Chains A and B, each alone.
Chain A
Amino acid sequence: MKFGIVVFPGTWSEKDTHHAVNGVLGQDAEYIWHGDEKLDQYDAIVLPGGFSYGDFLRCGAIARFSPVMEAVRNFADNGGPVVGICNGFQVLCESGLLPGVLMRNDHLEFRCIWTDLKVENTSTMFTSKANAGETLHIPMSHGEGNYQADAATIKRLEDNGQVVFRYADADGNVTPEINPNGSINNIAGIVNERGNVMGMMPHPEKASEKLIGGDDGNVIFSSMIENIVATLA
């Protein structure tokens, strides 16, 4: 299968994502320039981390207007798998492909730390290789990852099982103390209702090998690969 990795000016996680899905997991992967509008040749799209267009105005607020995002919207509308990581999650929210917003961390500081993510839903195409109740050890790196939405939206996300990851301790306990940014209900990642668009603040591509601290991020990319390859067959 082939991953398409979107590159906006200011994106910096595209090479790390390429390394994870191609270098480590052996899948085809290509970069997609923000001016491109044709995505037919890809089986999945990744919006990687970084500071698209300098995050001027508001994180992801300018990226949503780029030509490639119109194409990503069509790709998602046709059921294509899309994952947004960190800045990519912010872009998906700004584009309306996912509900809610990512506000400034409640403590107002940038945070680069390892997090433990409790996998809340193992039936998505992004998490099917995880075990129920499992935690994934994956780093985060952001100043604006405080996920918030109105009460009705949160209730809908929770009721539909659209909350995929929550910040937890290593044993899977979801507590206010472990919440690294103030996200409501410790939410670290969500999917859309259809289940083909996921956004998450932590960086699975930065947890791709034991040598650099762990390879739990591969659970997410491997789940995608397994599910996508199955539909291609």
Chain B
Amino acid sequence: MTVSQETLDEIALSSEEYEAIIDRLGREPEPLELGLFGALWSEHCGYKHTKALLRTLPSSSERLLVAPGAENAGVVDLGDGLSVCFKIESHNHPSAVEPFEGAATGVGGIIRDIFAMGARPIALLNSLRFGKPDDARTRYLLNGVIGGISSYGNCIGIPDVGGEIFFSDSYKGNPLVNAMCVGLIEDGKMASASAKEPGDLLLLVGADTGRDGIHGASGLASRSFEEQAEMRSAVQVGNPFLEKVLIEACIESLDLPGVVGLQDCGAAGITSAAIEMAERSGMGLKLLIDTVPRREEGMTPYEVMLSESQERMLLAVTPGQEGPVFDLFKKWDLDATVIGVFELGEDVRIFDNGELVTSTPVITLTDAPEYKFTGVKPQWLTDLQNADLSAIPVPSESPSALLLKMLAAPNIASRFPIYRQYDYHVQTNTVVEPGGDAAVLRLKGSKRGIALSTDCNGRICYLDPEIGTAIAVAEACRNLSVTGAEPVALTDGLNFGNPETADVQFQLTESIAGMTRAAEAFGIPIVSGNASMYNQSAGKDIYPTPIIGSLGLLEDVEKHATVAFKSEGDVIVLLGTDSTWDVLDGLAASEYIDLIHDKVEGQPALDLDLEIRTQAVCRDAIANDLIASGHDVSDGGLAIAIAESAIIGEIGAVISEAPGDRWDAAMFGETQSRILVSLSQENLGKLEELASASNVPMTVIGSVGGNSLSFGDSISTPLADADDAWKNGFILATSD
């Protein structure tokens, strides 16, 4: 081996992988070539530890127009000549180093993935994880990330309609910043990320190429947090104005006959974008690296190939038809430059000022090694699952006091202080605004609408990666069903620790198995995704956090439900259970035992069959105009769900039954598959018929009205107090 360990470390390749490169090439790689391998064989681009597992995910559906993996994102048919593509992507490591720009460019990156499909981006969501907010650095990261998302998203006219945020020590120093973008494709406008014929030109459009972001994919995304601190220069800097102009110009360019392919330039820059395009086209590629417009002088071909400068796109253009393309980009004051030609053959050939620098088979570069493993359940997990939940003491404070404390908790309090910093109205499609279980958007020109959500409770996944991930799928779908939308497709953002360790390999294996089991049970495909590995801080892996983004369809968008209780005298019903209050087992993995007792333990459970039937009954009830409100019972349990519906509806609730001796478990237990609805007395019989026909248990638990939250005769909390705790909790918990 003639290369130093230091060089390999810089591009995050192992010496075994270096040997494999020599073996495949039949020679030592050139220095530039080695950089290409480092990028394309990185975890971020090459999916070395996840590719084999991801292949097992369900990927077929009658609604699917483009299969996952074939393009930058799968495409789902919604009828009425409309289809959507959507995808979630992480920007965790850049955000840990430089939160504002890391989060901003994460948003910019996922938007490019979507308009590269010819889709007009219509919605953004963000799924965020941080350490507990009582730490100054965590608050710095939090404010930076939210500021970055706000600054980038607001500037480009795409509404930010939802997402989640969750705090746990597990993410301290290694925040998770996952952004999801949804795009709408008009009939026949879908773009492909490939060339059509040999001779097609490769054009680079948008920003000039600088030295920012070099080794972002291979370096940052493959190192643990401790090593990242001095890698700030590997974080890119975003320009949302340029991206907004680029969106308009690229979408407009697809109307030109000469434009045959569109590809985003993201992680690993031109290397990944151009070479993947060549692979998808089944062609070779001649790259003229000296033609790439640069931001600074003296850049080497290596730096140009690996730069992750933002706001750049690649186009494949039929030769002789590039004139109108140049004109169009000029109209938008954007540069467009021919930087290569697709050609017959198997190699990517890189020329610098007429001189051939490297020539490498495309397939050798893109076919990253695959690491297969099977997981072994660690003993520590069995011990945590078997913990005796009855040993958790009933708190000494009153149920009302604990309810207020829970409502003000960072993981439960209203997220309005965050999303009021994001524009969620632009494009005038937002029917249900952020703050509910899912956002609902209308589709102009159609009666139909879509619902969008993201979900994953890392604590539950930690305590059982298989069931926890199935629960993430179930809850992401439940969030849709409570608005009336039928789940039709999912995207997954895998966030895990170091995949070279046995524990994380177990978590990955189990998590993908749970995702597959649940998605198959719902009968919906996973159309796109992203994997972020090596998320660690202080030497500990983060909770396994497979974030699920979900897309639902409403046949008639006017018929949707919201979380808010509506009218005095409405009946409150709990779907999915035949008792009002939760049982002791509901404490497993709950927010309550973590927040109040500092315990993360218990065996999570999910009856997937009951879950699916319960959701279907809820959707039917909404479609038949039976119910006035619908809310998923999740973090904080039933008492919190009731309080949220009451606070948002500005009206109290009276629950008949007292929560009993284990009132803590009863009120704050998190047993799955429960949906809180309210409806008029006259519709109750029809709801009972629907539930009974589907064999779904339901319980009438109380009624809407008054100005307090009453649970049985002895527990009563003024609604104004609950309102104050819930609305101000987030600011109080996150202020310096």
Contacts and interface: CB of A to CB of B under 8 A. Distances in A.
Interface of A: 9-10, 12-13, 15-16, 19-20, 23, 49-51, 53-56, 109-113, 139, 141, 143, 203, 205-206, 208-209, 211-213
Interface residues of B, number: 32
Given A112-B420, A211-B557, A211-B558, A9 B241 contact: yes
Contact of B421 (A12, A109, A208): A109
Interface in B197-246: 239-242, 244-245
A51 B158 CA distance: 12
B155 interface: yes
B244 A12 contact: yes
B731 to A, nearest CB: 12
Interface string B26-57: 00000000000000000000000000000000
24 contacts: A10-B155, A10-B241, A19-B428, A19-B444, A20-B428, A49-B426, A51-B154, A51-B155, A51-B240, A53-B241, A54-B239, A55-B241, A109-B421, A112-B425, A141-B425, A141-B426, A143-B154, A205-B428, A206-B425, A211-B442, A211-B557, A213-B425, A213-B430, A213-B433
A9 B332 contact: yes
B423 interface: yes
Interface string B604-632: 00000000000000000000000000000
Contacts of B668: none
Contacts of A20: 428
B431 interface: yes
A180 to B, nearest CB: 10
B72 interface: no
Contacts of A9: 241, 244-245, 332-333
Contacts of B557: 211
Nearest to B430: A212
Given A112-B425, A206-B428, A213-B430, 15 more contacts: A9-B244, A13-B426, A23-B444, A51-B241, A53-B241, A110-B154, A110-B421, A111-B421, A112-B421, A203-B425, A206-B425, A206-B426, A213-B425, A213-B431, A213-B433
A211 B554 CA distance: 14
Contacts of A50: 157
Interface-central residue, A15, A53, A110, A209, by most chain B CB under 10 Å? A110
B60 interface: no
Nearest to A50: B157
Interface in B283-303: none
Contact of B428 (A53, A54, A112, A212): A212
Contact of B157 (A13, A110, A143): A13
B241 A56 contact: yes
A141 B154 CA distance: 9
Contact of A15 (B419, B427, B433): B427
Contacts of B558: 211
Nearest to B442: A211
Taking chain A's interface residues, is the majority helix, strand, or loop, or is none over half, making it mixed?
mixed
Contacts of A53: 241
B509 interface: no
Contacts of A109: 150, 420-421
B244 A51 contact: yes
A61 to B, nearest CB: 14
Nearest to A17: B428
A20 B428 CA distance: 9
Interface of B: 150-151, 154-157, 239-242, 244-245, 332-333, 419-431, 433, 442, 444, 557-558
A19 B81 CA distance: 20
A109 B419 CA distance: 11
Nearest to A19: B428
A177 to B, nearest CB: 15
A114 to B, nearest CB: 9
A12 B157 contact: yes
B331 to A, nearest CB: 8
Contacts of B242: 54
Contacts of B431: 211-213
A23 B427 CA distance: 13
Contacts of A113: 420
Contacts of B429: 212
Contacts of A12: 156-157, 244, 426
B150 A110 contact: yes
Contacts of B245: 9-10
A53 B558 CA distance: 37
Nearest to A205: B428
A9 B150 CA distance: 20
A143 B420 CA distance: 11
A113 B417 CA distance: 11
Nearest to A139: B425
A196 B329 CA distance: 36
A40 B241 CA distance: 30
A54 B155 contact: yes
A203 B241 CA distance: 21
B420 A111 contact: yes
Nearest to B158: A12
A110 B428 CA distance: 19
B352 to A, nearest CB: 33
A93 to B, nearest CB: 20
Nearest to A12: B157
A209 B241 CA distance: 29
A16 B242 CA distance: 21
A139 B428 CA distance: 11
A221 to B, nearest CB: 13
Contacts of B155: 10, 51, 54-55
A204 B557 CA distance: 23
Nearest to B151: A110
Contact of A208 (B244, B332, B419, B428): B428
B149 to A, nearest CB: 10
Contacts of B244: 9-10, 12, 51
Contacts of A111: 420-421
- Nearest first, the 10 A-B pairs at minimum CB distance are A12-B157, A54-B241, A141-B423, A206-B425, A51-B155, A16-B428, A110-B421, A112-B423, A139-B425, A9-B245
Nearest to A180: B420
Nearest to A53: B241
A16 B427 contact: yes
